[in-house]
Structure 1
Amino acid sequence: MFDSIVQLFMQYGLAGLFALSFLDAIVLPVPPFFLQIAMSLIEPEASLRIATVAFTGSVLGAPIGYMLGKWLGKPLMHKLVPAKWANKAMEMFEKNGDAAVIIGSFTPIPFKVFTILSGVFNFSLTRLMFYSILGRGSKFFLIGTLFHFYGKQAKVLLDNYLEVSLLGVAVILAAGWYILSKRKQKFLSK
């Protein structure tokens, strides 16, 4: 299924990548980095432009996924999930939503899960956008930069080290978030 969807969007070049990235933040279960890698493999010298298109589509789709979660997700959640579970999930997202969004930007879990949940749990749209820009930008531009510097050899690096690299960046960003949140708490307690 992934291959069929990627092939469909690949026919439209950069416009297809933009659409896939945009829809990944709203409804589609296919992460756009598969198409980004395929396009960068064909044209490594355009990899940073390709990364920019994927990043832009993803970030522009985030507020629509958020609004979808806000409008449809909450009523649906209250029908399908017991109230105590929904309240517990809301508490956890309020407490750890920043980390969830930033780390979620790197996982293979479709990004729409995080944009929609942000809307369902009333996470700040401003913070969602900030972490989307930071997380999605890092992910797309890491891939784009590898192809820019290593050309087609970047595919070998990605095959061997993509998961470790993305996990490493996610850990660094999560550690940065943790340190900043602790400093903020310390500052506010003074």
Structure 2
Amino acid sequence: MNIFTKMYDACMRWARHKYAVYILGFISFIESIFFPIPTAAMLAPMALSTPHRALSLAGLSTVTSVLGGIVGYLIGALAFESWVLPAIEEFGYLPTYEKAVVWFADFGVWVVLIAGFSPVPYKIFTLTAGALSMAFLPFVLASIIARAAQFYLIGGLVKWGGEPMRHKLRQYVDWIGWGFLILAVIAYIIYKYV
């Protein structure tokens, strides 16, 4: 079954769409506020489909993500109790939010660097930074560094790998996809029953 190869081919087609760059910028912006799908999920196929533009796509993702983070910060600062907290509870992010509050108390601005670079939901930290009245300039600087590091790492790897990487990845995408799916099921079972 080559379901992942078909998905990969579809992603490559979508990544070359004439509005793909605008969609990437929009997704990167809203992902920093509320959108559940990470920017990397769109940046990686777009960079793979056009490796010569990988670094400029990383730059676009960085700028729009940081701008979204600033909006998230402002929403957290101005509408946390009335708007953000009910949404966090509704979408099941309350435990993540509570951890974020503890991490902000323990690590300060460093937590923004970690959240902006890692797969931890960055949006929780943008909203929490505003709600906790974190100093704005350190928040923005940490966001720029972290988001740029993540997106330029993706863009740089794709640019370095170029066209051969795209073809090699397509060759093994079904093995990779099934492997990740099996690992996810095992992790879920361990988490749920152990």
Which TM-score bucket, shorter chain as reference? 0.5 to 0.7
Structure 2 distance, partners of 1:106, 1:91, is 19
Q: What are the ranges of 5 or more consecutive residues in structure 2 without an aligned counterpart?
A: 1-6, 90-96, 177-194
Q: How does 1:26-175 map to 2 (within 5 A)?
A: 26-75=33-82, 77=85, 93-154=104-165, 156=169
Q: What are the ranges of 5 or more consecutive residues in structure 1 without an aligned counterpart?
A: 81-85, 161-190
Comparing 94-103 and 25-34, the one that deviates more = 94-103
Alignment partner, residue 83 of structure 1: none
- RCO higher in structure (CA 8 A, sep ≥6): 2
Q: Is the 8 A contact 1:26 1:64 kept in 2?
A: yes
Percentage of identical aligned residues = 28
**1:112-170 Cα distance to aligned partner (Å, 9 max, x none):** 111001011111111110000100000100111111111145565xx98xxxxxxxxxx
Pick the aligned partner of 2:29 from 22, 41, 65: 22
Which amino acid in structure 1 is aligned with residue 20 of structure 2?
Answer: G
| Cα drift, residue 62 of structure 1 | 1.1
Which amino acid in structure 1 is aligned with residue 70 of structure 2?
Answer: P
Q: Is the 8 A contact 1:18 1:54 kept in 2?
A: yes
Paired residue secondary structure (1:28): coil
RMSD: 3.0
Which amino acid in structure 2 is aligned with residue 69 of structure 1?
Answer: G
| Cα drift, residue 97 of structure 1 | 2.5
Q: Is the 8 A contact 1:19 1:57 kept in 2?
A: yes
Describe the shift of the 1:72–1:110 C-alpha distance in structure 2 as closer, same or farther (beyond 3 A): same
**1:77-126 Cα distance to aligned partner (Å, 9 max, x none):** 59x8xxxxx99975752442212111001222332111001011111111
Alignment partner, residue 192 of structure 2: none
Structure 2 distance, partners of 1:57, 1:87, is 27
Which amino acid in structure 1 is aligned with residue 119 of structure 2?
Answer: P
Equivalent residues, number: 147
